[in-house]
Amino acid sequence: MLLIFGLKSVVRALPGRPATCPNCGRFVQHYLDEHARKLTLFFMPVLTTSRSYQITCANCGRVSSVSSRERKAMGA
Ligand SMILES: [Zn+2]
């Protein structure tokens, strides 16, 4: 029997929220993206191996990583 495993990165856009940007100092909308790494079996995602979050400032485009605890604090 042949098993086909693989790894796949999935990016999901989550609702962001307005926040003060540490780079440009403006209170603007920030976009939140979830980057999940999934183990696939026969090209079907079966398991999430790691998950990280990134927020992007809508004004200056600065991207910063956030932990899942900080993400919860953002209420998303
Ligand atoms: Zn900014």
Q: What are phi and psi of 73, to 5 degrees?
A: -65, -25
> What's the pLDDT score for residue 76?
52
CA of 5 to the centre of ligand 1 (A): 40
pTM: 0.73
Tens digit of pLDDT for each residue in 9-59?
999 999 999 999 999 999 999 999 999 999 999 999 999 999 999 999 999
In the 3-class helix/strand/coil scheme, how is 3-57 assigned residue by residue? CCEEEEEEEEEEEEEEEECCCCCCEEEEEEEEEEEEEEECCEEEEEEEEEEEEEE
Domain ranges of the chain: 5-68
- Residues whose CB is under 5 A from ligand 1 (ion)? 21, 23-24, 57, 59-60, 62
User: Measured between alpha carbons, how far is 38 from 25 in angstroms, rounded to an integer?
Assistant: 35
